[in-house]
Structure 1
Amino acid sequence: MMEEMNRSLIPAGWKSIYYNPLESPADTQAFRMEGDGAVSFPQGRMRLESTRDPAEGQLANLVYWCPDDFPADLAIAWDFWPVREPGLAILFFNAQGTGGEDLFDPALASRCGIYDQYHHGDMNAFHISYFRRRYMEERQLHTCNLRKSYGFHLVAQGADPIPGVTDAAGPYRMLIVKMGSSVSFAVNGLTLFRWEDDGSTYGPLLKEGKIGFRQMAPLIAEYANLHIYAPSGFATMRR
């Protein structure tokens, strides 16, 4: 039902180009971990958690990258379950080197989960932070934030409808749609924000790139049914 609600928000004529159930180690064999994180599949869905003490701050955080490059215009849908809080979840998208390099180009500055490396490092990207429960001020007023990098530009914000772990039922179907200059974010078919990028104020429009799941410790969360849509004309990448 939730997938049908989200599907209505995907532009007409777009098609599925990638699907990954994220249900077993085989599904993430080529994924790349930055930071010290553990990946498991205790309920047939991908669970991410840090293996470091949260007291270590940014050193305890992680990013888990899908290895594929996706087109500049795309829709990203996935299922999300919060398991343990506090913490924070983020999705990076349209991520590539600041000079257009592949995000994994060894010439780029190394990354190990420390946040500054992702917004003031050798990369451009959008990222949406959701389930923001790491700090007291985030737990008092739940919001979802869209930032554009290079830089730490907060460009859009909306309410977060996902309850805390105690009351969360899940799965929550997340949807990002990036089309031309427009970026929108929805949860369970409810659009939380939509933003228009003028391609100037915060840098040029972002191009094709990778997506990655980020968590701030001590969050434990689970993910499944990663689905990518794109305008017709793009070849199917994975089924």
Structure 2
Amino acid sequence: MIYSNPLRGPADVADWVAEGPVQSGTYNPGTNDDGGPGSGSDGATALVLSGGVDAEVHGDHAHWTLWCPEEIPDDVRIAWEFLPLEEPGLAMVFFSARGHGGEDLFSPSLAPRTGFYPQYHSGDIDALHISYFRHKYASERAFRTCNLRKSAGFELVAQGADPLPSPEDAEGFYRMEVVKDGPRVAFSINELLLFQWVDPRPGPLGGGYFGIRQMAPLRAAYRNLSIHPL
């Protein structure tokens, strides 16, 4: 095990680095916010993440990124559980994130980041990022895909179908898994392989930081993050 976090509530991400207006809470699988029945009732709580400002008022500045503070090596299997609670919105993870010149992601020499998306895909950091549960816009909800992009540059390098349902149809948590193996990246949900890609260029992105990102007003629950060596 390289890193593990049960993600049972806000205390478990107290040392994570928040960029943008992220809001955290605790999901009780026995009840929902109105006190009614909840999904995934196996007795374990989970971390709820959402935006902390009005998405209609703040637009693209209502979105956020939350970074795990520990640098992750290359050749790893990253797994977590995900449950959508309220849409519209979009969920994403970053990995292999570093400064464009090899700097630590949190180096003061890098430009400040506030959750505004262009700072991540076309700024002074390099990263791979997978967007899934792409339910923000009508076109995304009409034809659902998972996308892998390589940045800086916002290059779409792989795409696959997204089997995640809307919140009203979700039955418990879904197991997400990213394999980062040198130039190879693979992504699966509930052991269903959705895409894999091998970077054809020399010097593929290696180790770096892992982060969670959402587009507001999505509310979603997360738990059981684990990172193992291959």
Match of 2:52 in 1: 51
**CA deviations over 1:116-151 (Å, ceiling 9, x no partner):** 000111100000000000001000001000000011
Q: Secondary structure at the match of 1:199?
A: coil
Q: What is the rounded CA distance, in whole Å, between the counterparts of 2:172 and 2:118 in structure 1?
A: 31
Residue 112 (structure 2) aligned to one of 110, 131, 143: 110
For residue 53 of structure 1, report the CA deviation from its aligned partner. 1.3
Q: After superposition, where does 1:13-28 map in structure 2 within 5 Å?
A: 16-28=1-13
Q: What TM-score comes out, normalization by structure 1 length? A: 0.87
> Which of 77, 88, 91 in structure 2 is aligned with 1:89?
91
Superposed displacement of residue 26, structure 1: 3.2
The whole-number CA distance in structure 2 between the counterparts of 1:217 and 1:101 is: 29
Query: Unaligned 5+ residue runs, structure 1?
Result: 1-15, 232-239
Shift of 1:178: 0.8
Structure 1 stretch displaced more, 105-114 or 17-26:
17-26
1:94 alignment partner, SS class: strand
Mean Cα deviation higher: 100-109 or 79-88: 100-109
The runs of at least 4 consecutive aligned structure 1 residues that moved more than 6 Å come to none
Question: Match of 2:141, SS?
Answer: helix
Alignment match, 2:228: 229
Task: Summarize deviations over 1:22-55 as a string: whole Å, max 9, x none.
Answer: 1133321210111011111232211111111112
Give the percent of matched residue pairs that are identical in Structure 1 and Structure 2.
Answer: 51
Alignment of 1:53-92 (within 5 A): 53-55=54-56, 56-92=58-94
| 3-state DSSP of counterpart to 2:95 | strand
Task: Give the whole-Å Cα distance in 1 for the aligned partners of 2:184 and 2:27.
Answer: 37
Q: Distance in 2 between matches of 1:214 and 1:34?
A: 9
Whole-angstrom distance in 1 between the partners of 2:221 and 2:200: 34
CA distance in 2, matches of 1:24, 1:132: 24
Q: Provide the rounded CA distance (Å) in 2 between the counterparts of 1:222 and 1:26.
A: 14
Greater shift, 134-143 or 44-53, is seen at 44-53
Query: How far apart, CA to CA, are the structure 2 residues paired with 1:186 and 1:42?
Result: 24
The CA RMSD measured in Å over matched residues stands at 1.0
Equivalent in the alignment of 1:212 = 211
Render the CA deviation track for 1:50-71: whole Å, top value 9, x for unaligned. 1111122210001011000001
Instruction: State the shift of 1:107 in Å.
Output: 1.2
- Report the counterpart of residue 163 of structure 2 in structure 1: 161
Counterpart of 2:22? 37
Aligned partners of 2:157, 2:213: CA distance in 1, in Å?
19
Q: Which residues in structure 2 correspond to 1:125-144 (within 5 Å)?
A: 125-144=127-146
Unaligned runs of 5+ in 2: 29-44
Q: Deviations along 1:89-125, whole A, 9 cap, x unmatched?
A: 0000000111111111111011111110001111000
How far 1:199 moved relative to its partner?
A: 2.3
1:147 counterpart residue number: 149
